[in-house]
Chain A
Amino acid sequence: MSKTSSAGKSGLAKRIGKMTDTNLLMSITIVVFLVMYLGAILFLGDGFLKSQQFFNMLNANASLIILSCGMSLVMINGGIDISVGGVTALVSMSCAVYLDYHGGNVFGALLLALGIGLAFGLVQGYLIAYLDIQPFIVTLAGMFFARGMTTIVHTNPFNVENEAFLKLKNARIIVPFLGSYNKRGVYVDAYIEIGVIVALLIVAALFFALKWTKTGRNFYAVGGNRQSALMLGINVKRTTFLSHLLCGLLAGIGGFVYFLHVGSGSASHAMGAEMNAIASSIIGGTMLTGGVGNIIGTFFGVMSLALIQNIVSSVGLDQAWWTGITIAAMLCLFLIVQSIIIARRKKANSAAAR
């Protein structure tokens, strides 16, 4: 009896050992997410059983999903971008000012958002890829620039009152069959916002692009080993440039989705979003060293973070600092797990080489 179980265990261990880093880290995340959700349902009551609870997590984090996708892309390529939070704030403030003070329309605001994102992506990508400056320094400067520009564009926070925009903001997409009965026994439909659709589309598109297109595979190759990628004839500089360009563009889209969710402009919007995006990517199994990562994992990373925040607030630790501390603790944990995995792989590789 014990023999078979140990054999089964070693078989499982073997299968885990055979998994690529990408799949291993991603499955850890998904398992952690599921376990946490089950635990929440078991210990915190049926609030977590309602599908709307899940959809609210999606609604509130649609922009973060998009930002994290961009972040994962850059991190797979071996870089990092910490300007995304600043860009989000800048986009929402610019769009708000454009809509309310310059009589703009929603389409123009969308173009503005994309333009800001693209501009950041272009400049940062050029500096990082072609002038060979450390990505952290460039994007740190980008973050401070975006935050500063936000206050220069407009100082005080305000709510947008453009009608067409409000209509779009309040648009709800009903999810069939998943509604629930409220306390009075009335059936309430479950809904998601437009931003969620955008986020899910982007997740799907990026997942396919990274898996099956040549450019997508180039990101992995460059992140894994720049030198070998160069030997294989990949245009390393252009790939790096492209990753930052896409990240900037996604930050623009994410900023607009964020704006659509909150409907206001403020210099303190999306504070720490870059941190959350990096944390989600890392929790989702993207390695800081590059070359390893998966967009589906990133999606679950974002959802894990959202779930932790939900759990922390429903346990009753509703002071603002607990969220920051728990996220940082979780990030720390996953970083250490990653570094241990890397060290073990290295050891195994050197043993195999011998």
Chain B
Amino acid sequence: MSKMSTKPVSKGGQLLSSILHHQLIIPIAALLLLTVFNLIADPSFFRITLGTNSAGHPVLSGYLITIIDYGSELAILAIGMTLVTAASGGQDISVGAGIAISGSVLLRVLCGTESRPETLQAPIIVAFLVCVVVAMIFGAFNGALVAYFKIQPMVATLILFTAGRSIAAWINNNELPIVSDETFSFFGGYIPGIPIPTPFFIALICFVITWAVLKFTTLGLYVQSVGINEKTSRLNGLNPEMIKFITYVLLGLCVAVCGLIKVSRLSTINYSVIAKDIEMDAILAVALGGNALSGGKFNMGASILGAYVIQFLTTTLYKFDVQSDALSAYKAVVVILLVVLSAPVVREKLSSLLKLATSRLRSAKSPT
């Protein structure tokens, strides 16, 4: 009798544990938590209204739209950050500064030497390509320091973290060029006739490309193998330095796309404020996606979902009138909680506690 009764329990337990150990559980749980919190606090958070913007085009507005709008560049960054984290076991903290640099280059090419040109000095696509190349060069700089000079990723990227915004100001001679061309604002705003913000579509394109690259090339496999064990990867004929280097260059590409969106939102740039603290959010997105920050296996979908959850959190905090400068304190608490929960020592203790609890429950049940 007792045998029969334990069997379904263990099956259920297995199912439960397999769900609990799936990587997507962390971001989804966080998403649910935030959703429930917002439902209780103020259901109007989820209201979406169709209105018209200043140009008279139909646009959707609401907190959810804000999340998919502003979460998109974070998600694009999270793609590159996941690869870098997986391959090199460290994070790039210069992404915010990198966005400032690529945005500055973009404006420099678009505006030439004038600060408020009537017409664009170069086609947008050319400016974007130049900005991609520059961002990838800076990515290559970080990558070379990490891969070939064997400097810890966070220290190597600390160089650009400090110098980046200065370089960005230097590129434009500390002027703040303003782009008056209307088509340029499409990338960070709305394309006429489409009520959904464009960054979301840009992000979707990036997701599809990433999915295709991971599906049809061996990049994902190689990155994971280098992250798990560099020496064995070398013995298997991989070139770990090259792969690490490539991940940093790819992150540079992501940074350039983010730079385009960020600059397009404002049609101008503010060197010290643009993409401020975004490195924290990007790292948080990777951590929230359940990826090990010490490298190795990764799940890209979880990271992307994590990025949107972070934006959800940010938007929620904004809604409750938290100052933008104070946001980082709350997020830091979330980071600490996450890393503490995912620390091996704590996990072991928790699982042993869980086992103890279930065995007690079972022993309490068995006499009846």
Contacts and interface: CB of A to CB of B under 8 A. Distances in A.
Contact of A144 (B160, B174, B280, B323): B280
A147 B328 contact: yes
B156 interface: yes
Interface string B275-291: 00100100100010000
Interface stretch (A19-27, A36-44, A214-222, A329-337): A329-337
B145 interface: yes
B336 interface: yes
Contact of A140 (B93, B166, B167, B343): B93
A343 B148 CA distance: 11
Chain A residues touching B, majority SS: helix
A30 B181 CA distance: 54
Contact of A267 (B158, B165, B170, B325): B325
B166 A148 contact: no
B340 A133 contact: yes
Contact of B166 (A131, A320, A336, A343): A320
A32 interface: no
Interface in A255-297: 267, 272, 275, 278, 288
Contacts of B346: 131
Contacts of B151: 288, 335, 339
A130 interface: yes
B344 interface: yes
B136 interface: no
Contacts of A134: 293-294, 339
Interface string B342-359: 011110000000000000
Contacts of A319: 170, 174
B329 A149 contact: yes
Interface in B39-95: 90-91, 93
B340 to A, nearest CB: 6
Contacts of B327: 148
A339 B162 contact: no
Contacts of A229: none
Contacts of B332: 141-145, 148
A325 interface: yes
Contacts of A136: 90-91, 152, 154
Given A137-B283, A328-B163, A148 B329 contact: yes
Interface string B122-144: 00000000000000000000000
A324 B163 contact: yes
A83 to B, nearest CB: 10
B329 A325 contact: no
B165 A324 contact: yes
A202 interface: no
Nearest to B163: A328
Nearest to A83: B332
Interface in A125-164: 127, 130-134, 136-138, 140-145, 147-149, 151-152, 155
B169 interface: yes
B235 to A, nearest CB: 18
Best-surrounded residue of B152, B163, B287 (most CB of chain A within 10 A): B163
Contacts of A131: 340, 343, 345-346
A272 B162 contact: yes
Contacts of A327: 162-163
A249 interface: no
B213 interface: no
Contacts of A137: 283, 287, 293, 335, 339
A137 B279 CA distance: 12
A119 to B, nearest CB: 14
Interface in B149-183: 149-152, 154-156, 158-163, 165-167, 169-170, 174
A80 interface: yes
B162 A148 contact: no
B333 interface: yes
A149 B151 CA distance: 31
Contacts of B333: 141, 145
Given A137-B335, A138-B336, A335 B162 contact: no
Contacts of A141: 332-333, 335-336, 339
A339 B149 contact: yes
Contacts of B280: 140, 144
Contact of A325 (B149, B167, B283, B287): B167
Interface in B237-286: 277, 280, 283
Interface string B176-203: 0000000000000000000000000000
Contacts of B162: 272, 275, 324, 327-328
Interface in A50-71: none
A97 to B, nearest CB: 15
Contacts of A322: 166
B236 to A, nearest CB: 23
Contacts of B345: 130-132
Contacts of A332: 145, 159
Nearest to B148: A339
A294 B208 CA distance: 51
A132 B154 CA distance: 18
Given A138-B336, A328-B160, A331-B159, A132 B344 contact: yes
Contacts of A323: 166
B211 interface: no
Contact of B156 (A130, A151, A267, A335): A335
Given A148-B327, A320-B169, 12 more contacts: A140-B154, A141-B336, A142-B332, A143-B332, A144-B329, A149-B329, A275-B158, A320-B166, A325-B167, A329-B163, A335-B151, A335-B156
30 contacts: A80-B154, A127-B336, A127-B339, A127-B340, A130-B345, A131-B340, A131-B345, A133-B340, A138-B339, A140-B93, A144-B331, A145-B328, A145-B333, A149-B329, A151-B325, A151-B326, A151-B329, A319-B174, A321-B165, A321-B166, A321-B174, A325-B170, A328-B159, A328-B160, A331-B159, A335-B145, A335-B149, A335-B155, A335-B159, A342-B150
Closest CB pairs A-B (n = 5): A148-B329, A328-B163, A321-B166, A324-B166, A145-B332
